[in-house]
Amino acid sequence: MNKPQSWEARAEEYSLYGFTDMPSVHERGTVVLTHGEGPYVVDVHGKRYLDANSGLWNMVAGFDHPGLTKAAQDQYARFPGYHAFFGRMSDQTVMLSEKLVQVSPFDRGRVFYTNSGSEANDTMVKILWFLHGAEGNTKRRKILTRWNAYHGVTAVSASMTGKPYNEVFGLPLDGFIHLTCPHYWRFGAEDETEEQFVARLAQELEDVIAREGADTIAGFFAEPVMGAGGVIVPAKGYFQAIQPILKKHGIPLISDEVICGFGRTGNTWGCETFGFTPDAIISSKNLTAGYFPMGAVILGPDLSDRVQAAIEKIEEFSHGFTASGHPVGCAVALKAIDVVMNEGLAENVKRLAPRFEEGLKRLAQHPNIGEYRGVGFMWALEAVKDKATKEPFPPHLSVSERIANTCTDLGLICRPLGQSIVLCPAFTITEDHMDEIFDKLEQALNKVFAEVA
């Protein structure tokens, strides 16, 4: 048998693709990349692409930041790997835990490390189950999330993810309950104000708690902005409406900041942007600026005290990963936090976010763009067949996939999500990069809509 020769053929012959439209791969081939230059990535043929998705939301300092690569190199030379089991951990792990609590909304807390956001959400569920069991509330196992939320791909975190594609895995598992997505433009009823919409969702939460029993619910998980749901900004006042209900029933609120954390929404945390303080935070992606796979569970004061008491009761928390608190990952994370907060990246997001919004507002004037939405450096344009009725295009047309593929042809990487095109660039982009994004995206929109509208 002849072996495939091209990079594209070799990729398709030997690789399994995650979250990939296979008809596009079969028709167009795989984009095989060799390196990055600032916010650009370069393929095996030398073609450059401006990656307006910053990898997978996470390469916020670009693809060649010298300080981040040096932090990894120095730590590999000094202490290349260890765990955080049996009362042993690296000095970098200790320093990172201190730093994460210092920059969190909490006055004190504790941190547990994982290798990804999925594992961090999975771990948080186990922490809640462990805690409630130790406190004698063994029935408190149900988890509340929202439709269109994304919390990961492990069996537990995928059960939290309110996406229909998980049905092929026989998920969600029992006890995972999905509430209404807080997207007013799409799910608000006719003649319903935004305030009324929020009141309806708050009442839904009350009703679900009454139906299920507060003594059976372990926690409520929410992204400040739903990322993989299509950059869904919550309706105004949403968190202020639901948090008092959760507090009244003793249900912890977990802020999944895997995407929003460390600057994406214009503040250090998405919960700051939307004015609420959770009981715990889930972090990943921007935590290391994408330079090392790492996730973290950051517990606030109340959960820290209760979990520690539960651990003392049985003498250990029987959970962890081989690479939890990896010294290289922690060194990279310490540097990444410094880069975002002290090298002007966070300020650049705040400075250019209004310009980013203006550019998308202009593109949203197209008759087949129903809504533009977002905050900070995370935005989306939603395609519609009919702007007045918000009717989507038929799924078989794969409109967002066609727009994204056309952008790729033009040297721009953006992400199709449902009927939306998502943009979440590196925090290092300039006005010129922004203009390149808008110019190429506009070309793609005009071309595809002319074909399908």
Mean pLDDT, the chain, as a whole number? 97
- Give the span between the Cα atoms of 92 and 84, in whole angstroms: 11
If we measure between CA atoms, which residue out of 381, 356, 377 comes closest to residue 437? 356
pLDDT of residue 3: 79
List of E strands, 186-279: 217-222, 253-256
For residue 90, pLDDT beyond 90: yes
Centre a 10 Å sphere on the Cβ of residue 210 and count the other Cβ atoms it contains. Answer: 10
Q: Side by side, which strands form the sheet with 48-51?
A: 33-37, 40-43, 48-51, 412-413
pLDDT of residue 188: 97
If we measure between CA atoms, which residue out of 42, 38, 120, 87 comes closest to residue 329? 120
Locate the domains of the chain by residue range: 31-64+344-452, 69-342
Percent over 70 (pLDDT), the chain = 100
Are 323 and 310 in contact by the 8 Å Cβ rule? The answer is no
pLDDT digits (tens, 9 = 90+) for 21-67: 999 999 999 999 999 999 999 999 999 999 999 999 999 999 999 99
Element (H, E) at 33: strand 33-37
Q: Name the amino acid, one letter, at 163.
A: K
- Give the span between the Cα atoms of 333 and 58, in whole angstroms: 12
Higher-scoring residue by pLDDT: 417, 2: 417
Q: Catalogue the long-range contacts made by 3-10 (C-beta closer than 8 Å, 24 or more residues apart).
A: 7/32, 7/44, 8/32
Rounded to 5°, the CA angle 123-124-126 comes to: 65
Q: What is the mean pLDDT of residues 371-384?
A: 98
Q: What is the mean pLDDT of residues 125-145?
A: 97
pLDDT of residue 436: 98
- Give the span between the Cα atoms of 178 and 242, in whole angstroms: 14
pLDDT of residue 2: 75
Confidence bin at 380 (pLDDT 50/70/90)? very high
pLDDT digits (tens, 9 = 90+) for 178-223: 999 999 999 999 999 999 999 999 999 999 999 999 999 999 999 9
Residue 198, CA distances (Å) to 188, 192, 201, 222 in order: 9, 10, 5, 15
List 217's β-bridge partners, or say none: 142
Cis peptide, bond prior to residue 172, ω within 30 of zero: yes
DSSP for residue 225: S
Are 352 and 118 in contact by the 8 Å Cβ rule? The answer is no
Rounded to 5°, the CA angle 196-105-276 comes to: 5
pLDDT of residue 453: 77
pLDDT digits (tens, 9 = 90+) for 171-190: 999 999 999 999 999 999 99
Confidence bin at 372 (pLDDT 50/70/90)? very high
Are 443 and 405 in contact by the 8 Å Cβ rule? The answer is no
CATH topology classification for 31-64+344-452 = Aspartate Aminotransferase, domain 1 (3.90.1150)
Residue 207 burial (CB < 10 Å; 0-12/13-18/19+)? Answer: exposed
List 35's β-bridge partners, or say none: 42
For residue 1, pLDDT beyond 70: no
pLDDT of residue 444: 98
Confidence bin at 333 (pLDDT 50/70/90)? very high
- Give the span between the Cα atoms of 421 and 200, in whole angstroms: 29
For residue 448, pLDDT beyond 90: yes
- Reported residue count of the chain is 453
DSSP for residue 34: E
pLDDT digits (tens, 9 = 90+) for 337-370: 999 999 999 999 999 999 999 999 999 999 999 9
Q: What's the sign of the alpha-carbon dihedral 152, 233, 229, 260?
A: negative
Domain 69-342 CATH assignment equals 3.40.640.10:
yes
